[in-house]
Structure 1
Amino acid sequence: MLELPVSSEMWSFLLVFGLLCWGADGSVTCKNDLNAEVDWYILYKMPKMDPTSTGTEYFYIDSSGKSEELNNINNPNGVLGNTLRPLFRPIRNMEETFGFISYSDQPPGCSADQKRFGHSKGLVMVDRTGTGVWILHSTPRFPFRRDQNNFWPTSGNKNAQTFICVTFNYNQFTTIGTHLKNINAFPFEHYIPDNFHEELKTVVRWTEGPPFSPVQVEVSLLTSKGNQGFKAFAKRAHEDEEVGDLYLSIAKNIRSDVYAQTWGCQRDRSDSYCSNEFSVINVEDLLVGNQRRWTPKVDHSKWCVAKDQNKHWTCIADMNRAVSQFERFGGALCINLESVQRRFLGFARHPQICRKRPRPVCDPNSDEVNLQIIG
């Protein structure tokens, strides 16, 4: 066969083309629905409210200023499918520089030991030569499989859920690893090579977390690849509401009352915490996207937003506001950005007034199920 010489210009073209292809599909960053890299995004998946909805519609905002309602959260070429693509390979075929931790107290097929592991759900994917992502969410059994056509659990369609994805440089994952250990995250599937940060390797060893300091909550400062500021909160497990309520700790730290949305059918759900200092006020009604309205009874998300419009904090969290949740570890990732705060203040309708309210009557077939206990 005749072999034609390849010019230096052709080699340069092939090299640039290869790098562009890796940048589009191989880089470990948050991706939007067009498969373009973004510094961060937040998804608010809507509940299945009537026969015309699928339960896979979601409202999307990101670091580029994009704000829109999208369909099919389970689309392999959608926001989550594009972001998770580095995960959709057998571990033996993963790059030596790549690692991941999928953690959840409700992984596919079982539940983690509630006395040992925190009430937390998320995913870390990292390229140690560049960047990684931290996704914190509220959806049980996610990701259902490491498969681009089967990563979304159909059980997640019923109720509303939230996701936050942030792109961080590799050096930030020492702090993120420490946070995951502090909340006793249950790593149900993982691959962390030996030359990764020790803090990430410690998460997957299934040992008890480090003792907390006497403070109520550990607060870590993080900076995204795009230089956006974040705070990560990791709370202690304590039956006393003053210590065990994650949202009260957040309110005290950011020095603002907060509106809080958590699972509306949680047994022993707490009423609003009203104080002359800082209050945690439950949201009773939500208005998201194209004027879609629902109540916390069909909303499994966990988030809070500063009421003070001079304190621009919004937090996507792990915990519900309930006595049983005070006694578990958990945390939140909070973004300091006015545009996000304004959006979530708009979601929060009819905040609960500071008096006792009747408990909601809920469908017993909820997301909060108890299956085989492991760990």
Structure 2
Amino acid sequence: MFFFFKLCVFVLSFMICFSEAVISCFNEDGRPVDWFIIYKLPIYKMEVKGSGLEYMYLDSTVTNWQMSTHTINSSRGALGRTLTQLYYKYKSNSSVYMIYNDAPPELKYPSHYGHTKERGYDYPSSGKYYGQTLNCITYNSIQFPLISQQLAFIYPRVYNCSVPPAFSPHIAVMAQICDAKTPFIKTPKNLLKLVSERGQTFFSFAKSPYYVDDIYTGWVAQTLGTDLLVESWMHQGHQLPSNCSLSHHVMNIVSVCLPGPQMFSSYEDHSKWCVSYAFKDQWTCLGDLNRDSGQAGRGGGLICSQNPIIYKAFRQAMAGYKHC
């Protein structure tokens, strides 16, 4: 039956899939978990050169970041174990999946597509240099129509997908996108509440190219009612400065320090995340948009929660920020 299906979602390297069999996020030991987060380390960490394949791991069963014994390109790590499920099922008529990337393999890179990521399990050499984050969440299939709606706003560049006819009525937007059609949206942005398989609440902020603004300043901080510290790629010449012009402020993180210590500047980090400045608010968001004027007119979004484990891990990772 449809309601026994499972859904797995990756944010930043974003994949969506579900099937009649049990599909879940897998931890480093190959066991199902409600969610996990990976922080891939950049090659250069305070002038110390690494491989660009090491990563820190976090899930609901641990209290802080742990250095993985695997590398990001290993099939034995959490990412490899989770994606392997797709490879075993992707030809089945009982499975739905969508793979997308703003710069898919062997295709050119047009900026009008949403700044969102998706790939099969083949970590590219170009991805070694900078830091990255990845979030996997396990959802029951009753959440899937809601996630399907959000896809209409972020405008993903799909390069591989499957929506068998039996599933189309439940996930009509995803089916349209899979058929290379553009779904109609009534508003330029959308906020939805999602609940993971084990009851963790997440909030999905999704914006279309028609919402031309910095998502962090103009929408997320004001909606959550909290000042935000934002980590995003500060590599280009048109990054946005910290902004204190509205009721709730947004300040750029300039350096990150993970346990080890693993310290690096935002210049070396291609991840996009934010935390509430005030510890009492406990907000953490992971997404796919930089604080960059060139991305104000792109589709994309953030997944936010008030999970104390996630908040503690990311708030303590903030090693420096620039006030307004």
TM-score, normalised to structure 1, is 0.75
Tell me how far 1:212 sits from its aligned partner.
Answer: 4.1
2:110 to 100, 109, 113: 113
Match of 2:220, SS? Answer: helix
Change (3 A) 1:112 1:171: farther
Deviations 1:64-101 (A, max 9, x none): 22541113011111111100012224843x3x321211
Q: Within 1, Cα distance between the matches of 2:238 and 2:210?
A: 15
Deviations 1:237-292 (A, max 9, x none): 358xxx51111211111100001011121331111111351111000111013111
TM-score, normalised to structure 2, is 0.86
1:37 to 26, 29, 32: 32
Tell me how far 1:51 sits from its aligned partner.
Answer: 6.9
Structure 1, unmatched stretches of 5+, are: 1-25, 123-141, 146-150, 355-375
Match of 1:84, SS? Answer: helix
Hey, which bits of structure 1, 4+ residues long, moved more than 6 A?
A: none
Tell me how far 1:329 sits from its aligned partner.
Answer: 1.3
Q: Does 1:237 align with 2:209?
A: yes
Q: Hey, what does 1:310 align to over in structure 2?
A: 280
RMSD: 1.9
Q: Is the 8 A contact 2:173 2:183 kept in 1?
A: no
- Matched letter for residue 216 of structure 2: Y
Q: Is the 8 A contact 2:153 2:189 kept in 1?
A: no
Identity %: 28
1:211 to 185, 208, 218: 185
Q: Within 2, Cα distance between the matches of 1:350 and 1:119?
A: 26
Q: Is the 8 A contact 1:112 1:186 kept in 2?
A: no
1:222 to 194, 197, 201: 194
- Higher-Rg structure is 1
Q: Is the 8 A contact 1:44 1:59 kept in 2?
A: yes
Q: Is the 8 A contact 1:284 1:351 kept in 2?
A: yes
Q: Is the 8 A contact 2:63 2:309 kept in 1?
A: no
Q: Within 2, Cα distance between the matches of 1:91 and 1:60?
A: 27
Q: Does 1:153 align with 2:153?
A: no
Structure 2, unmatched stretches of 5+, are: 1-20
- Matched letter for residue 62 of structure 2: G
Q: Hey, what does 1:69 align to over in structure 2?
A: 67
Q: Which moved more, 1:223-232 or 1:260-269?
A: 260-269
Q: Does 1:102 align with 2:71?
A: no
Q: Hey, what does 2:254 align to over in structure 1?
A: 284
Tell me how far 1:173 sits from its aligned partner.
Answer: 0.8
Match of 1:88, SS? Answer: helix
Q: Hey, what does 2:231 align to over in structure 1?
A: 261
Deviations 1:110-135 (A, max 9, x none): 245322x211124xxxxxxxxxxxxx
Q: Is the 8 A contact 1:182 1:210 kept in 2?
A: no
